[in-house]
Amino acid sequence: MLDLLQQAWHTLVSIPHIRLWLALGWLGYLLWLGSWIVLQKREPVATLSWLLGLAVLPYLGFLIYYVFGPQKIKRQRLRRGRARAAPADLPDGFRPTPVAVELAKLGQASTGLAPTVCRDVRLLVDGGQTYDALLEAIAGAEHHVHLEYYIYYADRTGTRLRDALVERARAGVKVRLLLDAVGSGNARRAFFEPLLEAGGELCWFHPIRFGRFWQRPWLNMRTHRKIVVVDGRVAFTGGINITDDENERLRPDAYRDLHLRIEGDAVRTLQLVFAEDWAYATGSRDFVAEVARATPVAQGGDIPTLVLTSGPDSSWEAIHRMHVAAIHEARRRVWLVTPYFVPGEAAMMALTSAALGGLDVRLLVPKMSDSRLVTYAARSYFDDLLAAGVKVYEYGPRMLHSKALLADDELVMIGSANFDHRSFRLNFEVTMLFRDPALAARLAALIEAELSHAPRVHDDRARSLWRYRLPEALARLLSPLL
């Protein structure tokens, strides 16, 4: 084998002007792919990072970009029914100040989803409480149960939910389950055979397609949403997946997380988000209209609500934009909880400006997330945050997986999106924004309780070069790609 390789090498180098041809080929490769990347008009730092990777690793760099590089997903046709014009009447809670009205209009313009209301919003802490509420709602389903998850594992928690869905499907209830093909790869189709035999439906979001060389794989474009809608009247969303890893009753080291149970008009909007994802994944273009006809129209409510969606099918980065706008709107405090903190320039500027302006700005992150690289990248921002006056805390007992923002005494944002580039740009995400003092007070009490288990980070902490500063600096270089 070695002789054959040596012979092939000598044959190659003996070709006349081979170095010139290789140099021209390399330049042509850079010009072609570089133009392709530049024309996508991404952030300059991310664009330069990809160009550098292509130049240093000519063939491997192309393969990495082909699989993991940014892509634009086109599914605008599914959104023809969305009302993008300003609503005739905003819910009363959006009216007190011009800033609140502006934020509501910004949410609608960037998502195409009109402001709505909720009648009841319950905070569900950790998996045990969430799974109980979810199973109770499913047990009472009469018409349909729609579920969309990033992670659904074939473990004890997953089996318990599957069996509940099987029971409802046998009773004639329409059960539709949309799972991310990468995040839920642990649960094979065989695991869901009882559900399919009972009449339930299963669809995989962005299945891996490495065999289709004429199409770029969707490996890096995942649905990170967690949505359950029961009969169009009760909905669940937030950060909790279906796995024993988030069930503290089965594992003492389960993730610390936060979820929502919702009733009111906002359920109809979450139903629309699910319906569009299902129609996109299955190719059933009539499904959105079909579900709209089966969903109750007026359910009432007095809690002003925005359903925020974002993903690679939109360049507006609505959830990112709304986080930054909410921080700028705040006049007294900004409390942010996130498992992955890799902010862009706009978000970092908003947080530090709020702190420099005298607001009570607090950031709660896990002491060690499930990604060491992201943990180091997050810590690389701490010095600037601390210098601006942001109070940074690291939650220690378990892996913190909650995603929440509290601004002043009324604005609450809770959902599936982390505070990083992947959630803001690559993943399909959903986040709920509420204006409600009572809900804000409940979230504030919850965060304050979490802070009692989260030592505060100080600027005089140990900063060893090899153990901390250098790994954090190197991880930060990859921030635009995380």
Tell me the backbone φ, ψ of residue 292, rounded to 5 degrees: -60, -40
416/49 Cα distance (integer angstroms): 27
Strands 258-263 vs 411-415: parallel, antiparallel or unpaired: unpaired
Phi then psi dihedrals of residue 15, to 5 deg: -65, 130
* Token code pair at residue 183: 């995040």
Residue appearing with tokens 């974002």: 310
Active site residue 302: no
Among 300, 286, 266, 305, smallest CA distance to 434 is for 305
CA distances (Å), origin 384, targets 65, 100, 353, 376, 390: 31, 29, 11, 15, 9
The CA distance from 239 to 222, in Å, is 15
Strand, helix or coil for residue 302? coil
Identify the active-site residue in 144, 146, 206, 226: 226
Point out the catalytic residue in the list 144, 401, 420, 421.
Answer: 401
Among this protein's residues, is 143 annotated catalytic? no
Whether 320 is catalytic: no
Q: Is residue 420 annotated as part of the catalytic site, yes or no?
A: no
Closest Cα partner for 414 from 338, 357, 312?
338
Helix, strand, coil percentages in the chain from 3-state DSSP, rounded to 5:
45, 20, 35
Quick check: 113 and 306 in contact, CB under 8 A? yes
Q: Give me the catalytic one of 231, 265, 313, 420.
A: 231
Nearest residue to 345 (alpha-carbon basis) of 470, 480, 481: 480
List the catalytic residue out of 144, 146, 320, 403. 403
Q: Is 174 a catalytic residue?
A: no
| Spatial separation of the C-alpha atoms in residues 64 and 49, rounded to whole Å | 12
The answer to whether 391 is a known catalytic residue is no
- The neighbour count for residue 206, using CB atoms within 10 Å, is 19
Token pair listed for 191: 């695991």
The active-site residue out of 126, 257, 265, 408 is 408
Instruction: Tell me the residue type at 247.
Output: N
From 146, 224, 259, 323, the catalytic residue: 224
Catalytic residues: 224, 226, 231, 401, 403, 408
